[in-house]
Chains A and B, each alone.
Chain A
């Protein structure tokens, strides 16, 4: 079976359109970051709380939102999973103070009477007792919706100091990755190749972050992991093309560079597509079947392999061409 007959597409000749498209994508990213007022950083990075609850039967989501607003949490984000009867409530750093207020409001009630304590103790043997914000949500919702069974399935709290440290680490990791890759390519190929490769990587990273911001997706630790993986994948593709250029260059005269590059890209094209397909297949299975936590991870990578494949062909190699041409003239 074969998807592609021998192709001879003039990829280098298309570089003007490709650069144009890339610029448009980057502008979209810049605009959405400006319009949204910065990246939508998750609680991992700026601190806050996340509470995942199974509520059976699930009240109307508007009712849930109203309950939160009544309790002073008007900026809490609700994510609803109707199939699982679950909601995730995120409260970010700035709003944690409000959480403090709920604490004060509810605590005196809970500890006032011995009878109340005995009942709570009984519940504790059935469902794990939880402290912190999640217990406040538990009490808040069970008071509002007495007919429901509520189970807190996940509770996360990240202090702002931890978040800041993680953010620093993430930025450092991205930069260290870019530099190490640059050195490695410079060593294995030529330094003329490493700058374009790294530019292509930054291009992929930036456009992916821009699209995530455009869709108002939260940047979490898992998403940073996905972006680093996408860098690994994209550089993988770029190197396969570079390797072929390295091999073919010996066979042709210097002034036929565009021809060499086109041959290299065309010859590796079916491999590029097939690897994208196999990786895409597994990512699709994570996306549809892997559950909520991995959903956005898979989404980021799915988008990432498309943009990574595109940049290896249309950005990294044409940039090498431009550099080589520039050096000669």
Chain B
């Protein structure tokens, strides 16, 4: 076997691998994308919904509470509340030192959400009714005696409670996690003066019963009262993990010491609010999709008219680019925003740049007297440095956009960066494979 033959074999093998890679990536994208209505997450600006930023007012915190602690507590309280009204994909995040960002996509009644989020946390202690029985149909509360109510625990379990509020968070002065002598986490409580008296009375009367700890109508724990507790200090023991114990302590503190939020210009407890109605969202999607299709048709036809068959190859690569881009968005669970749609459209315009660079170079090489086959090879290798450098610098700016941006702008940065990266694959590797497959070595003419 001579060297030439060996080389050819190696190239054949490499080409085969490339084809398998291309088919694999496309198949993966389609799989990640299907069905699109479920796999593509839409941002608030497209779906409608509400975005809020709350700022913990550190100046109004008691001296012994750090800002970080207060933010953690506020996060838990807000999460707890939002769980109650079943938004599909709420996002509740700490931002910087003292900000909390809340995103509620597709919310129908924004004012109710604002009311619920902005309210002070309510911590109550009620007894579990051990004698009564939960109604067989829990949602049907008509059979319940007027002294009882049904509330749910954080685990979704239903509790039959006595309605009477025995104590509120106002009675608590301290809640913290510590360890017993065996190193098991437990929660220490301290009550203030009034609270200590109340707690002594309750525990004396109800030894053996369970006392439910309820934050905003959700039962977080229901420890059994073991004995009368005087002196205003109590301990909740149980098979807690450290995390569970921490969460419960935060719940108790949240109720005892509500976290103050800064009041924004509208007199409501947040410093930023963005709200988009569902009709505007639908409108944006319709217009955005129309603009994508229009832009795509324009670019596809332009490339065909200008570069003929080679233009069609670039068009094919461009369509693959969009499929892979959408697949990647779905696969990474990224959120598609209106500026994100703009990023896709811009990708359509800019990603053909790589092919334009290559094709112009091939034309030059043909003008310089090369045959199609070697002109293609030279075109690809000579255009490559320019494509690499220009795309990497664009990527630098896109990454900065991601760093700088808030939600929607981030969406733009994500689609643009992905689009650029994917275009390096589709516009260089995919088109090259097609040229290699369709242009024989001895070809005399090239449609470009």
- Verify A232–B397 contact, CB threshold 8 A: yes
- Verify B265–A290 contact, CB threshold 8 A: no
Determine the residue in chain B with the shortest Cβ distance to A279: B349
Q: Among the listed B108, B298, B339, which residue makes an inter-chain contact with A222, where contact means beta carbons less than 8 Å apart?
A: B339
A6 and B360 alpha carbons, distance in the complex (Å):
12
Closest 8 CB pairs of A and B: A159-B271, A282-B295, A173-B404, A279-B349, A291-B287, A232-B397, A282-B349, A243-B386
Q: Among the listed A228, A278, A301, which residue makes an inter-chain contact with B400, where contact means beta carbons less than 8 Å apart?
A: A228
A118 and B446 alpha carbons, distance in the complex (Å):
76
Q: Among the listed B306, B353, B389, which residue makes an inter-chain contact with A1, where contact means beta carbons less than 8 Å apart?
A: B306
- Verify B305–A1 contact, CB threshold 8 A: yes
- Encoded as 1 (CB less than 8 Å from any A CB) or 0, chain B from 381 to 407 comes to 010011001111110111011011110
- Verify B265–A221 contact, CB threshold 8 A: no
- Verify B110–A128 contact, CB threshold 8 A: yes
Whole-angstrom distance between the Cβ of A94 and the nearest chain B Cβ:
11
- Verify B111–A159 contact, CB threshold 8 A: no
Whole-angstrom distance between the Cβ of A310 and the nearest chain B Cβ:
17
- Verify B345–A282 contact, CB threshold 8 A: yes
Whole-angstrom distance between the Cβ of B252 and the nearest chain A Cβ:
30
Q: Among the listed A49, A158, A274, which residue makes an inter-chain contact with B356, where contact means beta carbons less than 8 Å apart?
A: A274
- Verify A236–B284 contact, CB threshold 8 A: no
Q: Which B residues contact A (CB, under 8 angstroms)?
A: 45, 53, 55, 96, 108-112, 114-115, 262, 264-268, 270-277, 279-280, 283-284, 287-288, 290-291, 294-296, 298-299, 302-303, 305-308, 338-339, 341-342, 345-346, 348-350, 352-353, 356-357, 360, 364, 367, 382, 385-386, 389-394, 396-398, 400-401, 403-406, 408-409, 412-413, 416
Q: Among the listed A84, A131, A162, A221, which residue makes an inter-chain contact with B271, where contact means beta carbons less than 8 Å apart?
A: A162
A93 and B284 alpha carbons, distance in the complex (Å):
27
Q: Among the listed A131, A158, A222, A239, which residue makes an inter-chain contact with B393, where contact means beta carbons less than 8 Å apart?
A: A239
Chain B residues closer than 8 Å to A156, beta-carbon distance: 273-275
Given A232-B394, A278-B352, A188 contacting B389 (CB threshold 8 A): yes
Chain A residues closer than 8 Å to B283, beta-carbon distance: 84, 291
- Verify A154–B53 contact, CB threshold 8 A: no
Q: A257 in the interface, Cβ–Cβ < 8 Å? A: no
- Verify B345–A129 contact, CB threshold 8 A: no
Chain B residues closer than 8 Å to A142, beta-carbon distance: none
- Verify A289–B290 contact, CB threshold 8 A: yes
- Verify B412–A225 contact, CB threshold 8 A: yes
Given A282-B345, A290-B287, A297-B339, A270 contacting B360 (CB threshold 8 A): yes
Given A239-B393, A293-B45, A153 contacting B276 (CB threshold 8 A): yes
- Encoded as 1 (CB less than 8 Å from any B CB) or 0, chain A from 253 to 266 comes to 00000000000000
- Verify A159–B265 contact, CB threshold 8 A: yes
Q: Which A residues contact B (CB, under 8 angstroms)?
A: 1, 6, 47-49, 52, 54, 84, 93, 96, 99-100, 103, 124, 128-135, 151-162, 165-166, 169-170, 172-173, 176-177, 180-181, 184-185, 188, 221-222, 224-225, 228-229, 231-233, 235-237, 239-240, 242-244, 246-247, 267-268, 270-271, 274-275, 277-286, 289-291, 293-294, 297-298, 301
A129 and B114 alpha carbons, distance in the complex (Å):
11
A10 and B308 alpha carbons, distance in the complex (Å):
31
Whole-angstrom distance between the Cβ of B410 and the nearest chain A Cβ:
10
Chain A residues closer than 8 Å to B396, beta-carbon distance: 177, 180-181, 184, 232
- Verify A294–B291 contact, CB threshold 8 A: yes
A39 and B291 alpha carbons, distance in the complex (Å):
30
A153 and B283 alpha carbons, distance in the complex (Å):
10
A294 and B284 alpha carbons, distance in the complex (Å):
9
Given A154-B275, A159-B271, A270-B360, A277 contacting B302 (CB threshold 8 A): yes
Chain A residues closer than 8 Å to B353, beta-carbon distance: 236, 271, 275, 278-279
Whole-angstrom distance between the Cβ of B242 and the nearest chain A Cβ:
35
Determine the residue in chain B with the shortest Cβ distance to A53: B277
- Verify A159–B264 contact, CB threshold 8 A: yes
Chain B residues closer than 8 Å to A229, beta-carbon distance: 346, 397, 401, 412, 416
Determine the residue in chain B with the shortest Cβ distance to A51: B275
Q: Among the listed B307, B350, B392, B405, which residue makes an inter-chain contact with A221, where contact means beta carbons less than 8 Å apart?
A: B405
